[in-house]
Structure 1
Amino acid sequence: MKQIKLDRIGTRPLSEFSYGGEVVDEPEGDTLSDREWAGYLFNADGAPGVKLEWWRHVPTGIWYRLRRNTITDEFIIDQPKVEAKA
Structure 2
Amino acid sequence: MNDFFNDKKVNVCGGVDVRGSSITLVHIRERFTAHETSVNQLMQSKVDVKTSLSVKVIEGSNGEITEVVLASRNGNE
More helix by share: 1
TM normalised by structure 1 equals 0.22
Larger Rg: 1
TM normalised by structure 2 equals 0.23
More strand by share: 2
